[in-house]
Amino acid sequence: QPVLTQSSSASASLGSSVKLTCTLTSGHSRDIIAWHQQQPGEAPRYLMKVDDLGRYITETGVPDRFSGSGSGADRYLTISNVQSEDEADYYCAAWDRNTPVVFGGGTKLIVL
Amino acid sequence: QVQLVESGGGLVKPGGSLRLSCSVSGFTFSDHFMSWIRQAPGKGLEWVSQTDNRGSHTDYADSVRGRFAISRDNARNSLNLQMNSLRPEDTGVYYCVRESISAGGWPAGGVDSWGQGTPVTVSS
């Protein structure tokens, strides 16, 4: 099954940009992944899917400040013009024929 | 719009049982695989169980296999999770989630909608 690695934390200043990384294990470097946001005390929210060619598709209603990209086994979530409400935990997720869904450990984004 | 509303959580003693339900609306329920995902206090997300769109194939995490049973009623737009022999480590918030169908050139798979969650506490 795929294994996804995320940094435990990241920080960004208000109005700046930040790029979060999710790394897939070898053998799964071509997998599509999804990004989910979980604000404090809330349920997670699906943001987008990203493929190995760097294409991404966002959920309706997600601000266009959020974008995705990819390179090799890495998948990225970039947040431009970071806002205070972007302070949240961000999880990447993958799946395959044998594994309905597996999550990375999550990255806690702190907005300074 | 898509809505997933869980119910049935609560406080239960170790060894006890609970039945979670999820009522859905805003989409064709019978088109989608569905899963339950849980989150222990202060921890990350863990997939628990999945059912295919007809309820004919189910799957479970090793940690719950043999104790939990997922089911669905497509006529009533509802998803259920029967949890037996509960343990303290089953404590957490349980989320009902929808998995995506193929669309716009993207294949099926992955969670694309979440419920608000229902808390389960297993403690004596």
Tens digits of residue pLDDT in A3-62: 999 999 999 999 999 999 999 998 887 889 999 999 999 999 999 999 988 899 999 999
* Residue of chain A whose alpha carbon sits nearest to that of B103: A57
Query: Which pLDDT score, from 0 to 100, does residue A52 have?
Result: 86
* Residue of chain B whose alpha carbon sits nearest to that of A98: B59
DSSP string, B48-104: EEEE-TTSS-EEE-TTTTTTEEEEEETTTTEEEEEE-S--GGG-EEEEEEEEPPPBT
Query: Which pLDDT score, from 0 to 100, does residue A10 have?
Result: 97
Higher local confidence (pLDDT), B54 or B106: B54
Task: Say which of A43, A51, A103 has its CB closest to residue B115.
Answer: A43
Is A5 in the B-facing interface, judged by CB distances under 8 Å?
A: no
CB-CB contact of A33 with A22 (8 Å): yes
Tens digits of residue pLDDT in B56-87: 999 999 999 999 999 999 999 999 999 999 99
Banded pLDDT at A111 (limits 50, 70, 90): very high
Banded pLDDT at B47 (limits 50, 70, 90): very high
Query: Which pLDDT score, from 0 to 100, does residue B74 have?
Result: 97
Closest CA to A74 of A55, A52, A105: A52
Query: Which pLDDT score, from 0 to 100, does residue A2 have?
Result: 86
CB-CB contact of A56 with A67 (8 Å): yes
